Amino acid sequence: MEAGNHADQRMLRLKQCLGEIPGELRALRVPGRVNLIGEHTDYNNCPVFPMAVNREVLALFCARQDRIIRVRDTQPDYGSIEFPVETQIAPDKAGSWGNYFKAGIQEMILSAESLPSDIGALRGFDMAIDSTIPPAAGMSSSSALVVLASLAFLAVNNAAPATRSGRLALAELCARGERYTGTQGGGMDQAAILLGRAGHAMKIDFNPLRSREAPLPQAHVIVVAHSTVSAPKTQSMMDAYNRRSIECRLAAALVAAHARRERGIEGIEYIGDLTAQKTGLSETEVETLVQAAVSSQPYRLADLAAGLGVSEHEVQQRWCLRRNGSVFPEPDDGFLIHKRLSHVYREWHRVERSVEALESGDIGLFGTLMNESHASCRDLHQVSCRELDLLTDISRRAGAGGARLTGAGFGGCTVNLVPRESLDGYLDEVGRRYYRDQMGLDEWEDYLFVVEASDGAGPAELPAGV
């Protein structure tokens, strides 16, 4: 959490940004998150291991008597948004931060059973926001906006979740709602943001959504290092992300078709369904099934159609659609099904081993698994970049026991496991060798910083005078 004076200053800045409006002021804080391990597994219904962090969006808001929502950022460059509460909310252009805010409102209108069904009975709000989460950095600045919008909208309409199960349900709605923006992601970010606990990381499982806390080691700290390469969710980045989601769906479909033909096994929809409980097979038998089902060669549409026993058109319509209904084209290098499946399946098991390592105090193993995860993200899922690879290499040489990219990749941040006793030397070496020597920067405090595990999103205290 922030020091009191700084938090009070942010609240006063928010009040100035909001201006004089009638009604009771309320405040919310919504943390960002870093994922310690388990990258690109959540949309495959495989577990992840993130933590909510003490970088956050702070918001001051007040209910309105009409259905208008107005949101303003304290940073003038981000501008403001205004839109009415409607059954179907029109999106802004792709990549706009306003779409993440609209995503949270839209899903609540469509899905939140605790809200009135009469659209006319719903109220909007005025809000000012201030964020310390680096944007386009893989720390869930966008998902934080989805959760913030949902919590504020539920609060002004007297429907805020009061229990942990209610927050789990809200996390699922927020994850589904974020697809309004065009990304086909999973539910890790929203669950971590809503369910975080100070001092702990969280293993999050899916289908059904559930969480398990694991204490972080006291003798180590988590350091975030921004590569300085932004990873914006533009259309090109969205397609790079969605390509991997599509390839993973196709991988699951190929394994399901093989399992049905060879073993009479039904019910495999996601890679995360490849469990003993779902298949009736041992772990070794599952691995054998997976290896037999998917070729190591790139797939063309004709190959997929043959393997799935359907037409090429059906492959496109069932597995290759973007959010807007357009068909994702066959990549020039083919669909890299084997690489994607190998990454997700092994990363899933790295998550399981990481939780056990932290619970048993085997910090060395945890660091090794983090390093293996980065290599897999780089070589199999291909979501790293030159700067992330260089930064993780420098970080390990500077003393990190584990270093890996965090978030969707293609830029953004790394997360690093650093012995507390050697933190100062580590920060100095990474600062000099990466930010000064490679990036030409004289100051790097905004790019290289320690994060602490934070509680999940919730009300914030209003200081005197606000």
Active site residues: 189
Which residue type sits at 135? P
Closest listed residue to residue 71, CA positions, set 105, 44, 95: 105
Contact in structure between 142 and 173 (CB atoms under 8 Å):
no
Between CA 425 and CA 282 the distance in angstroms is 47
Contact in structure between 101 and 146 (CB atoms under 8 Å):
yes
210 DSSP β-pair partners? 205
Which residues are CB-contacts of 215 (< 8 A; sequence separation ≥ 6)?
199, 200, 358, 359
Task: Report residue 346 as tokens.
Answer: 């092994």
Cβ count within 10 A of residue 75: 12
| 44 half-sphere exposure, CB direction, 13 A CA radius | 31
Between CA 182 and CA 179 the distance in angstroms is 5
Q: Which residue has the tokens 């699951």?
A: 252
409-440 burial: b if 16+ Cβ within 10 Å, else e: bbbbbbbbbbbeeeeeebbebbbebbbeeeee
Which residues are CB-contacts of 6 (< 8 A; sequence separation ≥ 6)?
none
Cβ count within 10 A of residue 135: 15
Q: How many helices (H) and strands (E) does the chain have?
A: 14, 12
Q: Which residue has the tokens 């929809």?
A: 269
